[in-house]
Amino acid sequence: MGYRVAVVGATGAVGREILKTLAEREFPVDDIVALASPRSAGREVSFGNRTLKVQNLETFDFTGWDIGLFSPGGSVSAKYAPIAAKAGCVVIDNTSHFRMEPDVPLVVPEVNPNALKSLKRNIIANPNCSTIQMVVALKPLHDLFTLKRVVVSTYQAVSGAGKDGMDELFAQTRGTFVNDPPKVEQFQKQIAFNCIPQIDRFMDDGATKEEWKMRVETKKILDPDVEVIATCVRVPVFIGHSESIVAEFAEPVDLARAYEALRESEGIVVLDQREDGGYVTPIECVGEDASYVSRLRIDPTVPNGLAFWCVSDNLRKGAALNAVQIAETMIALDLLPVHA
């Protein structure tokens, strides 16, 4: 017995990764449908060794479908997720649209699986990619030493901006060698051979919305008392977000216990050799499930501080994998009844 699964935004960077992840993890699928805009209707996408014909989201009836894995962009989710939810389909939405609504659980299964038990609107939000990998790494440390404050700088891949973002980095990089002037459309400035300290729009206080998301989402998922100041930077990397994280705790920090807790935690791989190349870089985490922790060390500038480097595949744990793990966790907690 399995589930009827709809993948919305199936032609996009995250949608394709969702299909791949479902197939790889042998998610119990009875029936699966790939949905996208009318532009893509009739196109084909892969699901394991099968090919699915893409259908038009606008005319799709969600009645009888158990799970909807959505990544079609915020405005499209805003319109269609409630329609699917009303038809009885449990929506796991990758966009930022519903994340901060109080009656929508925001879930990272390794951190707050029990939030799934308070499902009220049939909609669950998948957190921001940068938030996910950070809270996975911070949770075991918070359990040990009680986290107070985090200073994080991100180095985020262009795939966070979807397929078009990846195409823009490719085109600008190629253009440099064939003397084509760079076309700037997806990002605020040239991204090839550059770094851009802006992801999403500016807020009134001078932070960007991505930085705001890291702060408020961490509070909602991990602990409302934790303070976060983030600087989010787009870098010319296709896949894999990196983060420099400096964390301050209420209780004295013990490095050996921190290593041990991180090593034992679900979803984390510690690779930290304190020698040339003895750390993980984004290119090495592509296609991997874990959040990788490297460069762990005491921050001697505050009483109880730890600094580390954290890398993860933003399309997998940062999006597709976390969404599929949410569905798996719902099944494990007996929250997702199989259709008759």
- Using CB atoms within 10 Å of the CB of residue 197, give its burial: 0 to 12 exposed, 13 to 18 middle, 19+ buried: middle
Annotated binding site for phosphate: 99
Strands in the chain per DSSP E:
3-8, 29-36, 44-47, 50-53, 55-56, 67-70, 90-93, 123-125, 147-156, 227-234, 241-249, 268-270, 291-299, 305-312
84 binds ligand A2P (CB under 6 A): no
Least distance in angstroms from the C-beta of 35 to ligand A2P:
7
| Residue 314 or 325 having the CB closest to ligand A2P | 314
285 part of the active site: no
9 binds ligand A2P (CB under 6 A): yes
The set of residues, in sequence order, having a beta carbon less than 8 Å from that of 12 and lying 6+ positions away, is 36, 71, 72, 162, 163
13 binds ligand A2P (CB under 6 A): yes
The alpha carbon of 89 is separated from its chain's Cα centroid by a whole number of angstroms, namely: 22
Least distance in angstroms from the C-beta of 160 to ligand A2P:
9
Residue that has been written with the tokens 């009483």 in this structure: 303
Instruction: Count interface residues toward ligand A2P (CB under 6 A).
Output: 17
Cα(23)–Cα(338) distance, integer angstroms: 19
Instruction: Choose which of 6, 12, 107, 145 interacts with ligand A2P (CB under 6 A).
Output: 12
Within a 13 Å sphere around the CA of 171, how many CA atoms are in the beta-carbon half? 15
Annotated binding site: 11-14, 39-40, 99, 156, 159-160, 234, 314
Least distance in angstroms from the C-beta of 267 to ligand A2P:
24
Least distance in angstroms from the C-beta of 73 to ligand A2P:
5
Instruction: Choose which of 18, 19, 40, 145 interacts with ligand A2P (CB under 6 A).
Output: 40
Least distance in angstroms from the C-beta of 80 to ligand A2P:
7
Catalytic-role residue among 89, 142, 241, 285: 241
162 binds ligand A2P (CB under 6 A): yes
* In contact, 35 and 26? CB cutoff 8 Å: no
53 binds ligand A2P (CB under 6 A): no
82 binds ligand A2P (CB under 6 A): no
SS (H, E, C) 168-200: HHHHHHHHHHHCCCCCCCCCCCCCCCCCECCCC
Cα(40)–Cα(331) distance, integer angstroms: 31
241 part of the active site: yes
Candidates 36-44, 127-135, 149-157, 221-229: pick the segment binding ligand A2P (CB under 6 A).
Answer: 36-44
- Using CB atoms within 10 Å of the CB of residue 192, give its burial: 0 to 12 exposed, 13 to 18 middle, 19+ buried: middle
The alpha carbon of 212 is separated from its chain's Cα centroid by a whole number of angstroms, namely: 15
Candidates 5-13, 263-271, 289-297, 330-338: pick the segment binding ligand A2P (CB under 6 A).
Answer: 5-13
Residue that has been written with the tokens 């939810």 in this structure: 85
* In contact, 55 and 46? CB cutoff 8 Å: no
68 binds ligand A2P (CB under 6 A): no
73 binds ligand A2P (CB under 6 A): yes
Instruction: Choose which of 21, 55, 72, 169 interacts with ligand A2P (CB under 6 A).
Output: 72
Least distance in angstroms from the C-beta of 29 to ligand A2P:
19
Q: Which residues bind ligand A2P (CB under 6 A)?
A: 9-13, 15, 36-37, 39-40, 57, 72-73, 76, 162-164
| Residues with catalytic function | 129, 241
